[in-house]
Structure 1
Amino acid sequence: MSIKVGDHLPEVTLQRIRDGVETVDTSALFDHSKVVIFAVPGAFTPTCSEKHLPSYVAHFGQFRDKGIEVACISVNDPFVMQAWGESQNVPDGMMMLADGNADFTRALGLELDASAYGMGTRAKRFALYAEDGVVRNLCVEAPGEYRVSSAEHMLEQIG
């Protein structure tokens, strides 16, 4: 069953690179803030690198002006997420979070079986807006699409 508006974000751990690999708890990251979390099926993949992440990089300032944090999540390791962020000129403050074992993705009920492409379990392409850990808006893409999870669409939804 997938997470829905009104649900609390699941509590699991994710990883990121700061001064080495850092394990972070989702409740510590998201329970006391406003945040847009967007997930991509894979770092360095075409749509993710050409459209999805760049849309959030381009509009990062608009989210921050509204007091909203931005987090990118992918079922990749933290080193890949760091390298991808550097290659995409991700601004300081945008969280590049690794869900290496898909624990967060599965807890959300938004996993995608990409085994046919040699990629195993991945996240569906989605974006959600949460306040104090509670989902206020959720946009999940249909397979093969990129529309409702864009930064532009999320800014329209948040208002």
Structure 2
Amino acid sequence: MTIKVGDRVPSMTLKRLGADGMEEVNTDDLFKGRVVLFSVPGAFTPTCSAKHLPGFVNQAGALKAKGVDRILCLSVNDPFVMKAWGESQNVGDKVEMLPDGNGDFTKALGLVLDGTKNGLGIRGQRFAMIVQDGVVKDLQIEAPGAFEVSSAESMLAKVGA
């Protein structure tokens, strides 16, 4: 079942690379305050690298000025890939790269994309959400192949509303 506005973000632990190596992060901690989470089908893929992630990097200051505490980029990729992608995109501390290596969080959200016919395996759909203290306040899921409603500009308009 797909998560919807008013639902709580699933509580689970994910792994990412931190300054001291592999670390565990709990979604209960990640989604405290006002958070924008956006999901991409894959690190280093064309639209994700050329538009989606750079848009949030460029708009991070504006989003934070409107009260966003953190911006998370989710992808069904391993922690090493997400760290390398973040470095290649110069995200710095503007966007936190959130790997979902086994796709467990994406599955719990009900937002899986089956890319097996293209040799991509199970991925996450392209979407963005605004979460306040663990509760989904806005959710924008892209139509297959589209990049419109989950952009940084779209989320900036939503947080300002």
Same fold at TM > 0.5: yes
Corresponding position: 1:104 with 2:105? yes
Q: Displacement of 1:65 after TM fit?
A: 1.5
> What amino acid sits opposite 2:43 in the alignment?
A
- Number of corresponding residues: 158
Please list every run of 5 or more consecutive structure 1 residues that lacks an aligned counterpart in the other structure: none
Corresponding position: 1:83 with 2:67? no
The aligned counterpart of 1:2 is 2
The aligned counterpart of 1:114 is 115
Q: Displacement of 1:93 after TM fit?
A: 4.5
Q: TM-score, normalised by structure 2?
A: 0.95
Q: Displacement of 1:12 after TM fit?
A: 1.5
CA distance in 1, matches of 2:137, 2:125: 19
The aligned counterpart of 1:33 is 33
Q: Displacement of 1:129 after TM fit?
A: 0.2
The aligned counterpart of 1:123 is 124
Q: TM-score, normalised by structure 1?
A: 0.96
The aligned counterpart of 1:44 is 44
CA distance in 1, matches of 2:78, 2:42: 10
The ranges of structure 1 where at least 4 consecutive aligned residues each deviate by more than 6 angstroms after the TM superposition are none
Please list every run of 5 or more consecutive structure 2 residues that lacks an aligned counterpart in the other structure: none
Moved more, 21-30 or 52-61: 21-30
CA distance in 1, matches of 2:14, 2:71: 15
Deviations 1:75-95 (A, max 9, x none): 000110000000001031521
